[in-house]
Amino acid sequence: MHLQPVILSGGSGTRLWPLSREAYPKQFLPLTGSNTMLQDTALRLDGLVDEHPRLGLLLRDPIIVCNEAHRFLVAEQFRLLGRSPAAILLEPFGRNTAPALTLAALTARAAAEDDPVLLVAPADHAVANSEAFRRAVADGTVLAQQGAVITFGIVPGKPETGYGYIQQGEALADPALQGQAHRLHAFVEKPDRDTAERYLASGEYLWNSGIFMLRASVWLTLIRRFRPEIAEACERAMETTQGDGAFRRLEAAAFKNCPSDSIDYAVMERLSQAEAVAEHPAIVLPLEAGWSDVGAWSALWEVREQDGDGNVLDGDAFVHEAHNNLLIAQSRMLAAVGVDNLIVVETPDAVLVVNRERAQDVKAVTKFLSEAQRNEHRHHQRVHRPWGAFESITMGERYQVKRLTVKPGEALSKQMHHHRAEHWVVVSGTAKVTNDDKTFLLTENQSTYIPVGTTHRLENPGTIPLEIIEVQSGSYLGEDDIVRFDDRYDRGGDSGC
């Protein structure tokens, strides 16, 4: 029996600003350990086959569904793990989780003759006890093989108002299961405090994790039944999918017309009330594995290791007579004296200070930045590109200084600027430079000048990263002043070098 992991990587993580940003959201950050959240999600099933040999499972490489703008981040993070996804499905538009799962199910069925069980999980959740998670997955596999639709409910440890809840129905007795299972009675929206306390006291309610298991064919049957317009739009978008290595580009015009809906609303709620689909019962498996969606800074404070005073310190941070704070310092020393219950996050271009109990209100900051079209909403000071990264060191009227890092074997697009000239100085490594009809090499401490209107390209032919200082001068220095003639990454209209 094949188990096909499906990782949904479309989240934006706006409540974790300024670390999480639109172009580099939280699933690509190492928030809870040395690996990023996406990498941890991919590694979480390691050991499943050996730990549960009775299931006879064959574990497939994961299918990733992500925003097209994040495709190189996904590919790079798997490369760093020494692994390859089965496919990276690129959504030209965000349409929530039900279409994303439909695309993954269609891909899984097309990739093999069998009908795999899908394990569907967000890319940006934390699970402290991976072994307990795998035990629950093993139980879910048993039920999914029988045609059931499984959702995992997190056993609540407190009356949380920031999560949706699942109400459990009657218990199921199945000797093949290691844990408990219940019929799904209902999904419940985020409650107020009093209601959340009643839910906790009753023992009937679990937090909604957003993690599901079912056969690929079962999902396709149900989405065609309950939301046929989603199924049709996804099928049309997949008909002309273009492959580029692991990347699968959808037909944008067809997918643009796809309705936006979640797995919960599109299928699960309807399934819990649909007597006519008895062959595909909706079942809840309780999960106690140290789960968190890390949806706000307060949640990160809870899952990180704290000192004796309840402080979490990351980076060059110092506290004195301070309690229950989260301090993250990325580029300078951060000190907190005599303060309690604060979140302080420092990055090279922004600082956030918020009371821990008001952590959800960070969305007011991101709303302001988005409406003001501020760059701090979308990018970090260090901007990642498929060829490496660049960061602005300083800028003023008619000039800007950047540091470029080009990975070995990679190259910027062949391009031209209408409004700016560039001076390049090699700090380390070897640069291959194309300047109109001339191509030449530069090494450490050598430099060159790229006039306005000149067609040029920068490449790293070496085996170590290439570090360049770039001095731009001109009447307009925006990242959109680029005319591309050739780009090995097929970025089309993406802005930036």
Span(s) in the chain for CATH 2.60.120.10? 381-486
CA 181, CA 142: separation in Å to the nearest integer?
A: 11
Q: What residues contact 349, with CB distance under 8 A and at least 6 apart?
A: 18, 376, 380, 381
DSSP string covering 81-146, please? HT---SEEEEESS---HHHHHHHHHHHHHHH-SS-PEEEEEETT-EES-HHHHHHHHHHHHHHHHT
The model's pLDDT over 258-307, given as tens digits with 9 standing for 90+, comes to 999 999 999 998 887 765 567 899 999 999 999 999 999 999 999 999 99
In this structure, which CATH number among 3.40.50.150, 3.40.30.10, 2.60.120.10, 3.50.30.50 belongs to the domain 381-486?
2.60.120.10
CA 444, CA 467: separation in Å to the nearest integer?
A: 9
- Name the residue with tokens 């899908």: 118
Low-confidence stretches of the chain (pLDDT beneath 70): 274-277, 492-497
The three-state secondary structure class of 488 is coil
Q: What's the pLDDT at 243?
A: 82
Give pTM, 2 decimals: 0.92
In 3D space, the residue among 186, 184, 182 whose CA is nearest the CA of residue 174 turns out to be 182
CA 43, CA 20: separation in Å to the nearest integer?
A: 22
Q: What's the pLDDT at 490?
A: 83
The three-state secondary structure class of 65 is strand
Cis peptide before 18 (omega within 30 of 0): yes
Q: What's the pLDDT at 493?
A: 52
Span(s) in the chain for CATH 3.90.550.10? 2-291
Geometric angle at alpha carbon 327, from 321 and 331, rounded to 5°: 125
Q: Are 284 and 166 in contact (CB under 8 A)?
A: yes
CA 173, CA 418: separation in Å to the nearest integer?
A: 71
Pairing mode, if any, of strands 247-249 and 87-91?
parallel
Q: Are 164 and 189 in contact (CB under 8 A)?
A: yes
- Name the residue with tokens 């140290």: 290
Q: What's the pLDDT at 173?
A: 81
CATH architecture of 2-291: Alpha-Beta Complex (3.90)
Q: Are 351 and 315 in contact (CB under 8 A)?
A: no
Q: Which long-range contacts (CB under 8 A, 24 or more apart) does 108-115 make?
A: 108/4, 108/6, 108/63, 108/216, 109/216, 109/217, 109/220, 111/86, 111/87, 112/2, 114/1, 114/2, 115/215, 115/216, 115/217
Q: What's the pLDDT at 275?
A: 54
Burial 285-311 (b: 16+ CB within 10 A, else e): bbbebebbbbbbbbbbbbbbeeeeeeb
